[in-house]
């Protein structure tokens, strides 16, 4: 199969993604102006261990899903995330062992390649990356509950990031650059976080949110 190169612009790809999903998926309602900040702090704050215990107790007593439910993964929801975005993330986390990923550190950014032999997992990766690139270029932070502060910071600087993506035979390659050294450092840090999640799945997310051990 020949490699196909997709050099994205904000308008072109953004409209393509919206057209592809708008007919089948509804945007979730924002659950109040403080919902993301509250839930994000709940997961990333210093009291995470206590909150994790409380969530586990609630799951066992009420039979409902808690924030670290590996089947339903409610922590993948965001401010205006589409069902397809949550579904892609769920598949990526549940099947992370099937992902291969490489990161090339550049003086002005990064080049990442994320691939999978399984066709459905590969489709989820391409879909997720493509939609996230569109969100970044449009400055539409999804505010997913478990996302890292590094990604929040990248959305603050979204106008200073240039992105090109290339669909490979088994996945997708992303080139992201910036003339701002602070943004370059953020891009490189986030690439490392994503690689850790691809390697270890939700365990990497839980460890990051717990913070350094005392």
Residues 124-150 have pLDDT tens digits of 999 999 999 999 999 999 998 889 999
CA torsion, points 113, 116, 119, 125, in degrees to nearest 10? Answer: -50
Give the integer Cα–Cα distance in Å for 192 and 102. Answer: 10
Quote the pLDDT of residue 70. Answer: 56
Contact predicate 91/124, CB 8 Å: yes
Arithmetic mean of pLDDT over the chain = 75
164, β-bridge pairs: 175
Higher pLDDT, 5 or 129: 129
Q: What are phi and psi of 90, to 5 degrees?
A: -60, -45
Higher pLDDT, 56 or 182: 182
Quote the pLDDT of residue 75. Answer: 76
Confidence bin at 195 (pLDDT 50/70/90): very high
pLDDT greater than 80 at residue 30:
no
Two tokens, residue 178: 């910036």
Task: Give the number of other CB atoms < 10 A from CB of residue 26.
Answer: 9
Quote the pLDDT of residue 19. Answer: 34
Could you report the per-residue pLDDT of 90-122, keeping only the tens digit for each? Answer: 999 999 999 999 999 999 999 999 999 999 999
Give the integer Cα–Cα distance in Å for 124 and 116. Answer: 10
Q: What percent of the chain has pLDDT over 90?
A: 54
């Amino acid at each position: 199969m020949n490699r196909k190169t997709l050099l994205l612009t904000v308008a072109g790809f953004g409209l393509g993604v919206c057209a592809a999903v708008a007919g089948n998926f509804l945007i979730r309602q924002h659950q109040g102006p403080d919902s993301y900040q509250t839930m994000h702090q709940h997961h990333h704050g210093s009291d995470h261990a206590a909150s994790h215990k409380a969530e586990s107790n609630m799951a066992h007593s009420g039979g409902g899903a808690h924030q670290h439910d590996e089947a339903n993964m409610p922590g993948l929801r965001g401010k205006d995330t589409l069902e397809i975005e949550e579904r892609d993330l769920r598949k990526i986390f549940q099947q992370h062992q099937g992902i291969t990923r490489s990161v090339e550190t550049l003086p002005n950014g990064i080049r990442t390649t994320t691939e999978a032999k399984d066709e459905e997992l590969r489709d989820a990766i391409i879909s997720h990356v493509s939609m996230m690139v569109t969100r970044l270029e449009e400055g539409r932070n999804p505010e997913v509950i478990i996302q890292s502060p590094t990604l929040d910071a990248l959305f603050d600087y979204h106008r200073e990031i240039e992105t090109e993506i290339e669909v490979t035979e088994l996945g997708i390659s992303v080139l992201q650059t910036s003339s701002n050294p602070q943004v370059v450092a953020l891009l490189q840090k986030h690439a490392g976080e994503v690689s850790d999640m691809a390697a270890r799945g939700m365990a990497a997310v839980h460890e990051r949110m717990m913070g350094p051990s005392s």
